[in-house]
Amino acid sequence: MYAGADLLVLSRTKSGRTWLRVMLSHLYHLRYGVPENELLHFDNLHRLQPRIPKVHFSHDTTFVHHRPGGRALTARPEQRLLFLVRDPRDVAVSFFHHVRQRASARELEHKDIPPEARDLPIDDFVLHQRYGAPEIVAFLNRWWAEAPHHPQTLFLRYEDLRRDAEVELARVAGFLGESFTAEELRQAVDFASIEQLRDRERSGYFESGRLGPTDRDDPNSYKVRQGRVGGYRSEVSVETAEALDRLVAERLERAYGYRAGGEVAPMERPAK
């Protein structure tokens, strides 16, 4: 899947990947009539309609098979790479809830996270060097450094999607060589609103097993949570929020545009 994809969508867990996947899938439903409850998963929609590209969602420019004899695969120069990024402070908080409420033992093992991480207080988790914001910052910095070596790249910020999803979705479509109408874009954005996605997740609407709460009565167990920008400040202590702000100010590539207090400045583009 990795090597054969027309588009690699690369993102950290809890950066809005499901939201983007649903919007893109719905655009292709509107344009080509593929099933509304099917989500893009490599070539599943391509096999129904060859005009739809093969889209693979992954975590990095290099993919390693975690099984005996597995080998590393690296993104090919001719592949399109879409880097979906989100404020690492919000990602760390959302990932805390994911680890505590949703992640299976198998997923934790795959991500090299010990089971006892579930028991960490949120303030300790988000500042943890291995799976908190420090590790996320290092990851985003590496992406920024690698981007110039891939001629076909697009950076998409979650915060920009939240601010104007139709404009950003049109930019993604253009990157794929597609041109959707304003009405198609509006319908895709409406279909994938937070409220709609939570309802569909609750009802098991999508064929994909990716969406579904582990506890219907616990909002933090849903795949789609709140999706807030800067929400980390209301979930951690004042001291931890200040520590996260310092981390971003001192270590994160400034061109991403993330500032103290959850402020988001315009993003610069990596040099080619």
Domain boundaries defined on the chain: 7-262
pLDDT digits 0-9 by tens, 118-165: 999 999 999 999 999 999 999 999 999 999 988 999 999 999 999 999
Helices assigned H by DSSP within the chain = 17-32, 44-48, 88-101, 105-110, 122-126, 133-146, 158-163, 165-175, 182-191, 194-203, 238-251
pLDDT above 80 (res 86): yes
pLDDT of residue 216: 52
pLDDT tens readout for residues 224-262: 546 788 999 999 999 999 999 999 999 999 999 999 999
**Mean pLDDT, residues 95-112 taken together:** 90
**What DSSP designation does 258 have?**
B
20 pLDDT exceeds 50?
A: yes
The reported pTM is: 0.87
**Residue 65 pLDDT level (bands cut at 50, 70, 90):** very low
- Residue 77, pLDDT above cutoff 60: yes
Contacts of 145 (CB under 8 A, 6+ apart): none
pLDDT tens per residue, range 194-227: 888 877 777 778 866 555 444 455 454 445 546 7
Q: Is the pLDDT of residue 178 over 90?
A: yes
- DSSP secondary structure of 25-88: HHHHHHHH---TT----BTHHHHH-TTSPPEEEESSSEEE--STT--EEE--TTSEEEEEE--H
What CATH superfamily is the domain 7-262? P-loop containing nucleotide triphosphate hydrolases (3.40.50.300)
Does the pLDDT of residue 3 top 90, yes or no?
no
